[in-house]
Structure 1
């Protein structure tokens, strides 16, 4: 995911949460094994005719009767059919369940666990540049031993590290809603970058658009360039700024979260302001100057 990270808090990493978190969920034991409905027909009836027996009139009980238990009179019930009906495949087993209940996952404790709850965590470029600490209050539903649903408030602390990108996930295990007979759900916060009025982020680089008059684009100039965080730097340009011209300044971009001390670049893109009107004399002067330049 282009360097997207996933951060997971457990009992030791998050001092504000004393509860024990479940880790390393697995879907290997998600569904209990079911016996095949064909197992009741595991042996075939022999085609060899058997000798008549005085007990041949006694047949098996139907599956809807007393299941082989003696009747109150002390004798087994007899069926009017000489052959037992073949077992039928239940629709509930052969077809997909029509229940709309959410899919539950199993974990190492053997208890079912609902899917995680995702929430957005909006951060400014400045917060992702310097890093910050965010405190978020959540309300979750917890089922008591008597089956009553109560609401609990929790205060979660997220330490945003410098250089985190959009899409970075921070997981708090077991801090979601808890239902009877199931493990509590996880809460996942996903980093979302707020739009900045000046800068646009591309990976670890920052892009900045600067407007410049045509005269300065042709003759050179010294510009005051804003930096993320409120500072400014002086930039002198002696080149002719043509369409598509860019100036790259190293180590003035976003910090790299995986390499401490390393930063991306600041890419300056120029928007040349052309005049909208020219007099005939100005056109003549420009023509005389630029006629032999190309």
Structure 2
């Protein structure tokens, strides 16, 4: 009897079927009023009750404690036990009741109610690979997600979900996109959140540093000394001409404003393009070439 009583509470903490106005210890269910002698101090009519056991009392004695417990647990749940939008859906309840007796199902509805709380697994992280072009100009990515779903009959089946992620200009690696409750469903728990973490694909030309882009350009020694006009590629496939009149030394950097990555907070504001030059020296020179270089550069170094 103790186990049955401890599980049959409504959301307000009251025992189901208990009348708050009745004295403590008198009776717990009105259907059993005739099974116990009345307390004389309650009323005159109560003192005149016959001590002869009624039919319901004889039934109570014949059933015993176990039979009453089973009868109570199999009775319809009270309003306090019904699921709410914030509590467990009925599908986990059906799963439990299908594998056990009615008594277990009555206890399950309390165990997974909002008053006792439900567990939620930690978020499930998945990688979302993006190119620099996608994070610069934005795009839409469609991802097919297969997850476990609990049906109304308590079965767990596979279900495909098509998710759409709108990549915004200025996103960078480490950006997280959360889909709440899109994880696998399990009876008695909330589904986990799915978190996509942006991973930057390696680019063949550019490297990102904050909102700036870095580009390495190879240039022969003669152009580095004499000056030249180069065609500089931009992110997205375009190119711009760049005329250099300075002497380019190893590690020389040229900055082009506004050709980097957009700022995530201010998409119209973009970083810069930093061009680092790598000067290639000739592998060998003839004696005549060495003599010419020496005569030309003798007074410059």
TM-score by length of 2: 0.60
* Superposed CA RMSD: 1.6
Matched, 1:136 2:122: no
The structure carrying a bigger helix percent of its residues is 2
Shift of 1:147: 3.7
Shift of 1:230: 0.7
- Give the secondary structure class of the aligned counterpart of 1:181: coil
The separation in 1 between residues aligned to 2:261 and 2:129, in whole angstroms, is 17
The separation in 2 between residues aligned to 1:259 and 1:148, in whole angstroms, is 48
Give the gaps of 5 or more residues in structure 1: 1-106
* Equivalent residue in structure 2 for 1:150, among 144, 150, 157: 157
TM-score by length of 1: 0.62
* Equivalent residue in structure 2 for 1:215, among 213, 222, 231: 222
Contact 1:144-1:180 within 8 A present in 2 as well: no
Alignment of 1:70-81 (within 5 A): none
1:75-99 Cα distance to aligned partner (Å, 9 max, x none): xxxxxxxxxxxxxxxxxxxxxxxxx
Alignment of 1:267-282 (within 5 A): 267-282=274-289
The separation in 1 between residues aligned to 2:268 and 2:160, in whole angstroms, is 38
Aligned residue number for residue 266 of structure 2: 259
Ranked by relative contact order (alpha carbons within 8 Å, sequence separation 6 or more), the top structure is 1
Shift of 1:149: 1.4
Alignment of 1:171-190 (within 5 A): 171-190=178-197
Contact 2:169-2:267 within 8 A present in 1 as well: no
1:203-237 Cα distance to aligned partner (Å, 9 max, x none): 11111111111011001111110100011101011
Contact 1:141-1:177 within 8 A present in 2 as well: yes
The separation in 1 between residues aligned to 2:131 and 2:152, in whole angstroms, is 43
Contact 1:208-1:269 within 8 A present in 2 as well: yes
The count of aligned residue pairs is: 188
